[in-house]
Structure 1
Amino acid sequence: MPPGHQAGRAIAADEFVTQRHGDESETVPALPRKVDALDAVDVGQRLDEFDLLTNLGSGAFARVFLARQTSMQRLVAVKISENHGTEPQTLAQLDHDYIVRVFDQRLLPERDLRLLYMQYLPGGTLLDVLHKARKTTWTPQRSGQLLLDAIDEAMEAKGEIRPTDSSVRAELAGLSWPETVAWLGRRLAEALDYAGRHHVLHRDIQPANVLLTAEGVPKLADFNISFASRSPDADRAATAYFGGSLSYMSPEQLAACHPADATTPGDLDTRSDIYSLGVMLWELLTGRKPFPSASSIDSAGATPTSQQTTQGEHSTLDTMLAHRTAGITASAIADLPPDTPPTLRRILLTCLAPNPDDRWSTGAELAQQFDICLNPPARNLVDPPPGSWRYRLRPWSILIMELGVVVPNLLAAYLNYYNVRSLVIDDLSRQAQQRFDLMWLIVTLVSFPVGALLILYIRRYLVLVPYGLRKGKTYDAAILARARTDAILLGDRVFVVLSGIWLVCGAAWAVAMAIDIGGIPARGYLYFFASVVVCAAVAVAYPFFLVTFYAIRCLYPTFLPHGEVTGADSEQMRRLHDRSVRYLAVAAAVPLIGVAGATFIPLDEIGSVIVAIRILCIGGVVAFMGAYWLFRKVESDLTTLEGVTSNRSQPIREP
């Protein structure tokens, strides 16, 4: 931890003052502390079995040193503070790749101090990175190398040697600056999710409390004012040690600091930490916070007298609350770098929503969104540019889907009519021909609307839910999961509906011809059913790819920004890919079946359908090429979406 690190804050909710450190503000206890014992600790001393080597940082309540643990002959970070707070008990529950690992504590009763020794990380903190980013003029070439340079500077100051041949550092160097911020955010979100699942809140997310390894991996530290919501004394712990940096607090955490507000520290949950993470990442991305800091608010007015201190603190809180509840302004959004992906902008704005219900509810949801942001094909699917065809066509989903089904079926129905008319009906009387035409017209006029209504019914969630989302309506997880499943299975369900309609219509035609027309030879029925099979394959196989392509590329991604997606979706996608291969085989077989069927037609009759056979063969080849192109697009989209919904992201392990 670098000099200036404000470690170990503890405060009663109704007894606080604001203490400034540079341009930052934090709440600190109004009661005096015992300074002698803590201030007497310095470099060169031995406490217990720890030789204090270097001062890494100090704050209102603690000092942090680089120390050598003599019994283990290893370097550790030692945090020395007054003997209060719940940090050791809290961190004992947490063992995660993106949370600083605490080894143990020692009590020094003769000085009434506590010594907490933990994993030593040589890469400095995100505060160092923030300072360097502010000093660096933005250019389109700004990249993750800036993060690595800040780490190298921090390591050089400690006499450390940077690692070589690091795949993690190579990955970071290749990221843009917004992608680097997302890369860091994804790992910190996973840390918050882990802590949240253990019912632990941090309550002091800020750059100084994020340590960095030599490879750039962030680790969340300083849980001194956190609390475990399921501990036996959770209600007391929530308020007994409450504080943090005002500039990074969520609206509800600021309200809990305000004596006139009914909100209490015990009302906070992970969404408050997510808000603070959003403020920190916004500041890292733009170089400034999305809201005025406490110091800038105070500097706008006169310095209060001692009698006005309490009133001034309340006024500062009121002003900060007003800024946060008003939301992010257009001028703050204008601070975002031009190369910020729309996905990252959406993620951060959701983190910074004034109402906790409008934020990501868990760190896992947030981590999944960062996965989307870090995957360019996925973020283009989920957040297409406003001018893209996917974005413009979303409101027209009903019309597009119906045309994708109706047009191939109309062509197949006409082809079937032409074949049966030429091979079977033209040899019958004129009256029989007229009755056949009437039957064909009636069946077509009935079956097409019925099929359209059935398809509209099975995709009702794909119509209603996106419309509601565009209007700002919220849906529970079950409804969103149902809509996502409907999008994945839409092509299969359309296939079943169309197959059923062709089967019913074919049987109805055959029965109607036998009853109403009569006199048709057995060979005529054979031709009839062969034609129905070929045309049904045309009507069913090709729409599957059109429907699936549109559902996966344009409909399914609209649901991803609205809640965590479980691994069940990725499993459904893998099965869809396997089925798509079989559908592709059917599409490839259509012209072959047409040619094979033509060999059974007598030579003196083949002339009447030779045009239809040519159309079927040539059209089948062209349609298959289109189906194959759509298949490859669907395959690519499924691979992309499966990668960000599988929940199989692997953490970076310690070297």
Structure 2
Amino acid sequence: MTDSTADYPFELTQTQAPVGVDGESGTRTGTYEPSFAGLSPSTRLTTIEVGQQLDDFDLLLELGTGAFAKVFLARQRSMQRLVAVKISANEGHEPQTLAQLDHDYIVRVFDQRILHEQNWRLLYMQYLPGGTLLDVVEAIHRAEKPPETGQTLLDAVDHALEGRGGIRPTESSTRAELATLPWPDTVAWLGKRLAQALDYANSHGVLHRDIKLANVLLAADGTPKLADFNISFARNVTGASPFEYFGGSLSYMSPEQLTACQPGHTLDMANLDARSDIYSLAVVLWELLTGNKPFDDSAAQAARARGAGAIGDTTALELMLTTRAKGIPPTALAALPETCPPALRRVLLIALSAAREQRWASGAELAEQLQLCLDPSARDLVDPPVRSWRLRLRPFFVPIAFLAIMIPNLLASAYNIQHNQLLIVSQLSEYAQGRFMLVTTVVNVVFFPLGAAVLLYWYRYIILVPRRLRRGPAPPEENLARARRDCLVAGDRAVFIVFGLWLLSGLTFPLTMQFAAGGIPGRSAIHFFGSITICGAIAIAYPFFLLTFYVVRSVYPELVAYGQTSPREAEELRALSRRLPRYLAVAASVPLLGVVAVTFLTPVEIAQVIVPIRALCIGGIAGFVLAYWLSRQIESDVRALERVIGNRVPH
């Protein structure tokens, strides 16, 4: 069948026939011709007409026709049901391939009958009355204006139903959802389901090799179903070969599939993988989104026309390969709707990469990314607007992390210094004061740079992996996964180091003073440990919320945009949410600790430190309000990201 005539395209949807292959040498032995060599019985398919009975089937309506098969709406007498019957020559492995597949978004095949006298195969399957995605694009062209919502899809389905004598279905939750979805979201909705179908097929060893608009059927509620596995290759089917019935629709082919069509590249057919089908699906989604394919093949079509119908003309194929190697042209990018989210644009551009190693590695990855496009909160995190601060601050993890950690600790240090100066240092002898300053200097010079070095080591994946993403091809998946995991514990690690340094200082100071200056008064030691406790609470709460807010809102989403996440990561996100109340409780304790500290001071001591205590209480209350707001924002972002990761497709 060709795109122009196919209405119910279960047949080979190409304008060229398969390539013949020499079994011993693996070289091309045939050329692209408009028929299968050796399938002469198919020429008698023209004698089949509506009203006939074949085997168990009454043929009611012709749904589609092509060079190699006819498809009819039929009544199966024995089961008293309507089915779609594909009648073709009894060749190939399509029934065996489809027998392996049972998926919500793949057309369900019931069984086959063989008419031995005519050498015909009757493959009967689920009847879907809603037309194809090709009908949808044609409806868009007729309207001469871009679609606004998924109602365009439903209108095309209803038009197909009426054309076949059906009636518009009652409203369903699916139709209600589609009717209000913006058109780019509708495209992502369709694409996610088709990507899941491809992933399922590939997990069963099946490559479709002919993804196109006309090969996606629509149920009455708009649900897409992948059809026509006539030229697919099933690794698990005995006797199947990647060289059998190789073909497809040129304008939807991946560059590697186009290469395999060229003379001398027959063996490349065996090297095709799921990424080839992903490329073809991306072409389909682009055409749905804009009304046109992403590449201008007019020069190739002209070259093909000059070849007097030689569809596989090498010049035409070379022109198509050259066009795809240049990437998506500016005119095609400009045709994207203004309402197209940056996330969907990115997902399709990656899927349409000329180099297959740069595409999504599986249908599951693509489905997860398209699910992201359907969640406004999550997609704005992963692909923020161009002028968003979340986008602009992504390259500056090190300085922002430094400020998020240091500013609260500098404030804590200021309080600690003032508190100790008034209640401890001023009470010491001149010699002891000198020792105090020496110990403080040594601790700051030795311990804090050491802590910074440990943090830089722990954060190395967060620093290096995003930098590599921005400068070139994506790093290995395990590095991406490690960077995402490190992001979710970045705040905890900062707290661990900084609180550890405060604790170490709290232990080092009295011990050193004991040996160097003969010790400090007991009451001064109590004051010192009290101030260290307050500073420790500040070091725990505020750096955690500041750093986690920045990482979850800016850094982590960038990493989610690449590779496939795992169920473990969803649990890690939930674990982060569960930790938030604990840190919030610590933030709430800061002003309370200041109030409690006053109860242990004498009136004279209170008079000495009343200003620092007031600053601590007022600042602690303001800090808690900020921490509470940050906590709510982090929770919202985590829920959005968890929705995406939680919807990944398991293999």
TM-score (norm 2): 0.94
- In 2 relative to 1, CA 420–60 (structure 1 residues): closer, same or farther, beyond 3 Å? same
Q: Secondary structure at the match of 1:607?
A: helix
1:149 to 155, 174, 189: 155
* Superposition pairs of residues 67-146 of structure 1, within 5 angstroms: 67-139=74-146, 142-146=148-152
Q: Which position in structure 2 is the counterpart of 1:484?
A: 484
1:191 to 173, 194, 197: 197
- In 2 relative to 1, CA 18–496 (structure 1 residues): closer, same or farther, beyond 3 Å? farther
**Greater alpha carbon shift after TM alignment, 539-548 vs 34-43:** 34-43
- In 2 relative to 1, CA 317–473 (structure 1 residues): closer, same or farther, beyond 3 Å? closer
Shift of 1:310: 5.2
Q: Which position in structure 2 is the counterpart of 1:340?
A: 340
Q: Which position in structure 2 is the counterpart of 1:25?
A: none
Shift of 1:50: 1.1
Q: Secondary structure at the match of 1:51?
A: strand
Shift of 1:428: 2.2
**Greater alpha carbon shift after TM alignment, 417-426 vs 366-375:** 417-426
Q: Which position in structure 2 is the counterpart of 1:446?
A: 446
Could you tell me how far apart the structure 2 residues matched to 1:447 and 1:560 are?
35
Tell me the amino acid that sits aligned with residue 275 of structure 1: Y
Structure 2 residue 560 is matched with structure 1 residue 560? yes
Does the 8 A contact of 2:498 with 2:539 survive in 1?
A: yes
* Superposition pairs of residues 115-514 of structure 1, within 5 angstroms: 115-139=122-146, 142-234=148-240, 237-261=241-265, 263-293=267-297, 297-299=300-302, 303-304=306-307, 313-514=313-514
Does the 8 A contact of 2:364 with 2:650 survive in 1?
A: no
Does the 8 A contact of 1:412 with 1:535 survive in 2?
A: yes
RMSD: 2.1
Q: Per-residue CA shift, 1:287-337, capped at 9, x if unaligned?
A: 1111234x76333686445xxx65972222222222122222122212212
- In 2 relative to 1, CA 302–109 (structure 1 residues): closer, same or farther, beyond 3 Å? closer
Q: Which position in structure 2 is the counterpart of 1:24?
A: none
Q: Secondary structure at the match of 1:244?
A: coil
Q: Which position in structure 2 is the counterpart of 1:22?
A: none
**Greater alpha carbon shift after TM alignment, 418-427 vs 584-593:** 418-427
Could you tell me how far apart the structure 2 residues matched to 1:508 and 1:343 are?
52
Q: Secondary structure at the match of 2:60?
A: strand
Tell me the amino acid that sits aligned with residue 278 of structure 2: I
Shift of 1:69: 1.1
Q: Per-residue CA shift, 1:27-72, capped at 9, x if unaligned?
A: x546673345311111111111111111111111111111111111
Structure 2 residue 43 is matched with structure 1 residue 40? no
Q: Per-residue CA shift, 1:544-568, capped at 9, x if unaligned?
A: 0011111111111111222111111
Does the 8 A contact of 1:594 with 1:613 survive in 2?
A: yes
Q: Per-residue CA shift, 1:512-541, capped at 9, x if unaligned?
A: 222223352222211111110111111221
* Superposition pairs of residues 3-14 of structure 1, within 5 angstroms: 4-5=6-7, 6-9=9-12, 11-13=18-20, 14=28
Q: Which position in structure 1 is the counterpart of 2:25?
A: none
Could you tell me how far apart the structure 2 residues matched to 1:635 and 1:519 are?
48
- In 2 relative to 1, CA 60–70 (structure 1 residues): closer, same or farther, beyond 3 Å? same
Does the 8 A contact of 2:187 with 2:288 survive in 1?
A: yes
Could you tell me how far apart the structure 2 residues matched to 1:105 and 1:207 are?
25
Could you tell me how far apart the structure 1 residues matched to 2:479 and 2:334 are?
35
Does the 8 A contact of 1:250 with 1:272 survive in 2?
A: yes
Q: Per-residue CA shift, 1:597-629, capped at 9, x if unaligned?
A: 211112222111111111111000000111111
Consecutive unaligned residues in structure 1, runs of 5 or more:
20-27
Shift of 1:648: 5.6
Could you tell me how far apart the structure 2 residues matched to 1:521 and 1:434 are?
16
Q: Per-residue CA shift, 1:346-387, capped at 9, x if unaligned?
A: 111111111111111100000011011111111111111221
Shift of 1:593: 1.6
Shift of 1:120: 0.7
Does the 8 A contact of 2:545 with 2:627 survive in 1?
A: yes
- In 2 relative to 1, CA 319–519 (structure 1 residues): closer, same or farther, beyond 3 Å? closer
Q: Which position in structure 2 is the counterpart of 1:17?
A: 32
**Greater alpha carbon shift after TM alignment, 261-270 vs 237-246:** 261-270
Question: Aligned residue pairs: how many?
Answer: 636
Q: Secondary structure at the match of 2:242?
A: helix
Does the 8 A contact of 1:7 with 1:61 survive in 2?
A: no
Shift of 1:264: 2.7
Q: Secondary structure at the match of 1:290?
A: coil
Shift of 1:447: 3.1
Could you tell me how far apart the structure 2 residues matched to 1:68 and 1:327 are?
48
Q: Which position in structure 2 is the counterpart of 1:583?
A: 583
* Superposition pairs of residues 518-537 of structure 1, within 5 angstroms: 518=518, 520-537=520-537
Consecutive unaligned residues in structure 2, runs of 5 or more:
21-27
Could you tell me how far apart the structure 2 residues matched to 1:429 and 1:540 are?
34
Tell me the amino acid that sits aligned with residue 72 of structure 2: F
Q: Which position in structure 2 is the counterpart of 1:608?
A: 608
Could you tell me how far apart the structure 1 residues matched to 2:469 and 2:44 are?
58
Could you tell me how far apart the structure 2 residues matched to 1:467 and 1:647 are?
28
